[in-house]
Amino acid sequence: MAKDDNFKMATDLHELSILRENDNGGWVMVHITYTIEKSNRNEAIQRIKAIRNKRYRGGALKWKLFSSSDNENELIESFYEISIDQLTRHQAQVTQYGHELTEKLYGWLKENGGTVNRCNYQEF
């Protein structure tokens, strides 16, 4: 059946662009560095991964979790937002559940001697 239909290869399709409202300079990369004790590494990875869906619900694109190659005590969460306006809007629209997940993670890190450093980098 399928051989009789007219299909286009995915490579022939145009790339879809995401509409930007009040474009304020372009994409924003959010880079969050977690410093943890080596003994808590596996649990920290699982706890950080647990907030991945929260990030996607909040508008994040291309969420990744990295391990620092030169420091085993660092984990780096990275994702993109369309613009600084979208990032600000999404931070204000966090659900109660999403807020609790983040607070639970940050509280656990603090109790276990960890730290969180969040930086935003904007594309120009």
Lowest-pLDDT range, 4-8, 47-51, 53-57, 111-115? Answer: 4-8
Q: Which two tokens stand for residue 92?
A: 């204000």
Q: Apex CA 99: angle with CA 24 and CA 71, to 5°?
A: 80
- pTM for the model stands at 0.75
> pLDDT digits over 37-56, tens only?
999 999 999 999 999 998 89
Give 45: exposed, middle or buried? Use CB within 10 Å, 0-12, 13-18, 19+.
Answer: middle
Fold of 24-122: Alpha-Beta Plaits (3.30.70)
Distance, in Å, from the CA atom of 109 to the CA atom of 104, rounded to the nearest integer, reads 9
Helices then strands, counting H and E runs in the chain, come out as 4, 4
Domain segments of the chain: what residues? Answer: 24-122
Distance, in Å, from the CA atom of 77 to the CA atom of 63, rounded to the nearest integer, reads 7
